[in-house]
A and B are shown apart, each in its own frame.
Chain A
Amino acid sequence: MISQFFILSSKGDPLIYKDFRGDSGGRDVAELFYRKLTGLPGDESPVVMHHDGRHFIHIRHSGLYLVVTTSENVSPFSLLELLSRLATLLGDYCGSLGEGTISRNVALVYELLDEVLDYGYVQTTSTEMLRNFIQTEAVVSKPFSLFDLSSVGLFGAETQQSKVAPSSAASRPVLSSRSDQSQKNEVFLDVVERLSVLIASNGSLLKVDVQGEIRLKSFLPSGSEMRIGLTEEFCVGKSELRGYGPGIRVDEVSFHSSVNLDEFESHRILRLQPPQGELTVMRYQLSDDLPSPLPFRLFPSVQWDRGSGRLQVYLKLRCDLPSKSQALNVRLHLPLPRGVVSLSQELSSPEQKAELAEGALRWDLPRVQGGSQLSGLFQMDVPGPPGPPSHGLSTSAPPLGLGPASLSFELPRHTCSGLQVRFLRLAFRPCGNANPHKWVRHLSHSDAYVIRI
């Protein structure tokens, strides 16, 4: 199936190169790929490219390019699945996937590739089977420490014991065979939702879409059974009804093949025996019918004087979350008409920041409390052919190029669909070690939150 596999850094430097079939014809295939990628015209897709009898298929992950080449007409879905699975595997074995970790663990990566792919055919990608064969140890940059409170990322959480694990907690290698007593047995469970919203210029909601995933990263020995309990009243599909009240609803659910669904119907409990490493337990999606109001509403007011070119944009952002919650790292991105070089601003609170970057307004609000309202007034001059003189500012149609506003934000401890993990129980205690730690986190973040002006 596969002729070559290689990993390039974001600048095109080859980090890993493995030739399975020996049919590269003496050419530097990685170089060929990078040149073709950078020289591709804008409207062609780089995902699958062809050169000289060879197909290049790649994904971008953590800034790296993972590329396979093939000369046969194979299923693109299988190849992309293989690439993402390889990315996850490498992440599991090396701690995290990045240029640094790959360069430090080259031997481990090649050993993994040897076991996963034989003559270009996939043998197995299951961490269970692989750990019997992999001998090399992963090299980590520094031992992780609880005092390292860097930025919030994936797999880090508060728990009922109000301990905080930093994002780097889960980024250590999963499968080291050192029988290290200090290695804690931990399991991280994340409920992550991506919210896509489209609001028209008159304020009506055109589209709302929530894509959710329940991701598990387990450092426990494989085969430990665990039970994950979800909100009991959550219904699947439009017609199901459970409990009283509107309840929590999702449109569609799909599970990983290893999840046991015996108790799902009755009590919404998932049972599984996860291997070590990362696993997406459940995927669900919900459209058009959110139980809670949308997190943000924007009320823009635009006044444009065509004669003088003066444009005044007043943005009022209202956060409709419950007052106890907050949104973090909120950023509003508003493309401006061409030619705007400077703007003056008045913001309602000092911790906000607004600046003009690359022809767009960027308004940063590090923290927005639920129920609060923030506003900003921006004034700028729009160069262009002078239109008919108007009498001062008027609220006519906004100038061309004043694009839709996009919001990006994170909502910690909040799920838009309302789905929550009630409990995470392990069936037995692994002998010898202390009680394993369980970290559960709920997080929503914006995927594409667009409000038209």
Chain B
Amino acid sequence: MPYLGSEDVVKELKKALCNPHIQGDRLRYRNVIQRVIRMSKLDQWGQAEVLNFLLRYQPRSEEELFDILNLLDSFLKSSSPGVVMGATKLFLILAKKFPHVQTDVLVRVKGPLLAACSSESRELCFVALCHVRQILHSLPGHFSSHYKKFFCSYSEPHYIKLQKVEVLCELVNDENVQQVLEELRGYCTDVSADFAQAAIFAIGGIARTYTDQCVQILTELLGLRQEHITTVVVQTFRDLVWLCPQCTEAVCQALPGCEENIQDSEGKQALIWLLGVHGERIPNAPYVLEDFVENVKSETFPAVKMELLTALLRLFLSRPAECQDMLGRLLYYCIEEEKDMAVRDRGLFYYRLLLVGIDEVKRILCSPKSDPTLGLLEDPAERPVNSWASDFNTLVPVYGKAHWATISKCQGAERCGPELPKTSSFAASGPLIPEDNKEREQEFPDSGALMLVPNRQLTAEYFEKTWLSLKVAHQQVLPWRGEFHPDTLQMALQVVNIQTIAMSRAGTRPWKAYLSAQDDTGCLFLIELLLEPENSEMQISVKQNEARTETLNSFISVLETVIGTIEEIKS
């Protein structure tokens, strides 16, 4: 139990929150919660723990909800960032039906978050930036007036600069777009190529809304004739003309001359695609492509060659006279001499297509040149706060959703079960069926027709009474070696919905445990596990309140499997 300030406070808390009678009585439980919140002598760790506990509590009425929020108000002004963020998360989750309360809380947490973003501690700065980005997904205008705080300084580590650039890209609005673009333009000529490229992509992101200014800036950047800048600018242009066709003209004017400065695969692909699709507006398009065709033998990237084939064919459709000859040469090379099968196949496909007739080719290759609706698909504007409220103040925003998804997939297979609170009766007041449970059920062998359901807490008295009244239905002995951790066994049994009523501590001899489980038809199983001092065996006695042999047998097999698995794991 975490230390919550003083001895008597801890005693009171333990008594109240672990007492199943209080659990059962809503009113008493609520009073305990109120008392917990009012505890004034907690230090910041105690406060953070309290806020964490309260996440599971569900207030029954709106009045109670606002009551709790009022009491917790002072936590939002705490000087400890952990407490402030914990309080914010609690507010967001408790007030999930009141979006205006959520917005209000997010306004109040702006100050502390911004202070954390300018903190001396780099690590705190980074974590705060991740959370700022999370908030911006729902409230894009939230930090717009504080854009200056997100300007990068040269001494910051790379990962912080990248986060700040992303934030700048997301908080742009009409008032600050000029300054933000100025700032980003400065970053584009930064010494570090990665950072410069990130800044250019950010400008590309802003260009979807403020197209003209951004295209102008990007065109100027092309004038610098720097390789790492040109390639990214051309890629940005390619993405931009697809989403914002109105800038095609400007882009086409800017393109001539870039080909000399691009050496990498991505850049070349982007340039070739642009020349193919919009080649009719670019006067020297055929000549640029001709250069590529001349050098196709020494081209190392198959992706570039594929792009070249498609682009040249498209250009041929609009400017046949200039392209016919080199198209022929390219097709010849791809079919006869190219070693990469994908390129060869594409060349062959285009050749056969041409044989069918020019009209067919036109019909197939002349796809739309832009699709502004894709922009709407890509950025789901303004996700509701409730979608990420439970991730706030956890490690999820720090990793990013994608990375977190891969992590939790790996973890789901390894973890041996949900975190078991020291007093399992917390589950009573809040809906806290861990998701892992449901997944894990399939991993254990299916016990035929038997479906164990998580039963409501069986009180010790009821168990004792029932135990004494029933006769032993089945007894069995399983081989057992050495020591084990009772917690592991408890968790494993929990996974298959067998509750532990009582269990001796590890190391005591004789070791005993009492378990209970309930069938979905209401059939109750009571189990005693006994481990004698000298034996290397575990004695299992099972009692059933309805005499049904089949279900009994299925249950025994489930129990055996679980215990057998524990036996294997630990040995």
B154 adjacent to A81 (CB under 8 Å): no
Q: How far is the CA of A122 from the CA of B147 in the complex (A)?
A: 36
Which A residues are CB-close (under 8 A) to B127?
A: 47-48, 76-77, 80
B154 adjacent to A59 (CB under 8 Å): no
Question: If the complex has contacts A77-B124, A81-B81, A400-B226, are A121 and B395 also in contact, measured as CB distance less than 8 A?
Answer: no
Q: Of all chain B residues, which has the CB nearest A255?
A: B79
Which B residues are CB-close (under 8 A) to A209?
A: 118, 148-149
Q: How far is the CA of A254 from the CA of B78 in the complex (A)?
A: 9
Which A residues are CB-close (under 8 A) to B156?
A: 448
Is A196 an interface position by the 8 A CB rule?
Answer: yes
Stretch from B29-37, B407-415, B518-526 contacting the other chain: B407-415
Q: How far is the CA of A335 from the CA of B115 in the complex (A)?
A: 30
B121 adjacent to A84 (CB under 8 Å): yes
Which B residues are CB-close (under 8 A) to A448?
A: 153-156
Cβ distance A362 to chain B, nearest Cβ, rounded Å? 14
Stretch from A38-46, A216-224, A367-375 contacting the other chain: A38-46
Q: Could you mark each residue 24-62 of chain A with 1 if its beta carbon is under 8 Å from any beta carbon of chain B, else 0?
A: 000000000000000000111111101011010111100
Partner of B148, one of A82, A287, A403, A406: A287
A81 adjacent to B82 (CB under 8 Å): yes
* Residue among B158, B179, B398 having the largest count of chain A Cβ atoms under 10 Å: B398
Which A residues are CB-close (under 8 A) to B123?
A: 47, 57-60, 80
Which A residues are CB-close (under 8 A) to B124?
A: 77, 80, 84
A81 adjacent to B44 (CB under 8 Å): yes
Is A198 an interface position by the 8 A CB rule?
Answer: yes
Is A124 an interface position by the 8 A CB rule?
Answer: yes
Stretch from B133-141, B186-194, B326-334, B352-360 contacting the other chain: B186-194
Is A425 an interface position by the 8 A CB rule?
Answer: no
B78 adjacent to A75 (CB under 8 Å): no
Q: How far is the CA of A81 from the CA of B182 in the complex (A)?
A: 35
Q: Of all chain A residues, which has the CB nearest B408?
A: A73
Interface residues of B in 101-149 (CB under 8 A from A): 111, 115-116, 118, 120-124, 126-127, 148-149
Is B351 an interface position by the 8 A CB rule?
Answer: no
Question: If the complex has contacts A206-B148, A254-B79, are A123 and B2 also in contact, measured as CB distance less than 8 A?
Answer: yes
Is B217 an interface position by the 8 A CB rule?
Answer: no
Which A residues are CB-close (under 8 A) to B399?
A: 48, 50
A50 adjacent to B111 (CB under 8 Å): no
Is B19 an interface position by the 8 A CB rule?
Answer: no
Q: Could you mark each residue 72-99 of chain A with 1 if its beta carbon is under 8 Å from any beta carbon of chain B, else 0?
A: 1111111011101000000000000000
Is A447 an interface position by the 8 A CB rule?
Answer: yes
Which A residues are CB-close (under 8 A) to B111?
A: 252
Q: How far is the CA of A403 from the CA of B186 in the complex (A)?
A: 10
Which A residues are CB-close (under 8 A) to B45?
A: 78, 82, 122-125
Q: How far is the CA of A125 from the CA of B226 in the complex (A)?
A: 54
Q: Classify the interface of chain B: helix, strand, loop or mixed.
A: helix
A75 adjacent to B85 (CB under 8 Å): yes
Q: Could you mark each residue 149-174 of chain B with 1 if its beta carbon is under 8 Å from any beta carbon of chain A, else 0?
A: 10101111011101100000000000
Which A residues are CB-close (under 8 A) to B122?
A: 47, 60
Which B residues are CB-close (under 8 A) to A414?
A: none
Cβ distance B245 to chain A, nearest Cβ, rounded Å? 32
Interface residues of B in 210-265 (CB under 8 A from A): 224, 226
Which A residues are CB-close (under 8 A) to B1?
A: 121
B158 adjacent to A450 (CB under 8 Å): no
Is B394 an interface position by the 8 A CB rule?
Answer: yes
Interface residues of A in 119-142 (CB under 8 A from B): 121-126
Q: Of all chain B residues, which has the CB nearest A55?
A: B395
Is A285 an interface position by the 8 A CB rule?
Answer: yes
Question: If the complex has contacts A58-B123, A77-B82, A80-B123, are A47 and B395 also in contact, measured as CB distance less than 8 A?
Answer: no
Cβ distance A38 to chain B, nearest Cβ, rounded Å? 15
Q: Of all chain B residues, which has the CB nearest A84?
A: B121
Question: If the complex has contacts A47-B398, A400-B189, are A42 and B194 also in contact, measured as CB distance less than 8 A?
Answer: yes
Which B residues are CB-close (under 8 A) to A452?
A: 186
B154 adjacent to A75 (CB under 8 Å): no
Is B499 an interface position by the 8 A CB rule?
Answer: no
Q: How far is the CA of A77 from the CA of B191 in the complex (A)?
A: 32
Cβ distance B413 to chain A, nearest Cβ, rounded Å? 10
Which A residues are CB-close (under 8 A) to B120?
A: 194, 211
Q: How far is the CA of A77 from the CA of B82 in the complex (A)?
A: 5
Is B336 an interface position by the 8 A CB rule?
Answer: no
Is B308 an interface position by the 8 A CB rule?
Answer: no
Question: If the complex has contacts A53-B414, A75-B85, A123-B3, are A400 and B393 also in contact, measured as CB distance less than 8 A?
Answer: no
Q: Of all chain B residues, which has the CB nearest A58?
A: B123
Between A and B, 21 residue pairs with Cβ closer than 8 Å are: A42-B194, A44-B159, A48-B399, A55-B395, A73-B395, A77-B85, A77-B124, A80-B127, A81-B81, A84-B124, A124-B45, A196-B153, A200-B182, A206-B183, A209-B149, A257-B78, A257-B80, A288-B148, A335-B191, A404-B154, A406-B153
Known: A121-B2, A400-B226. 12 other contacts (CB 8 A): A45-B163, A47-B159, A73-B395, A74-B395, A76-B127, A76-B398, A81-B81, A124-B45, A207-B148, A285-B118, A359-B191, A447-B153
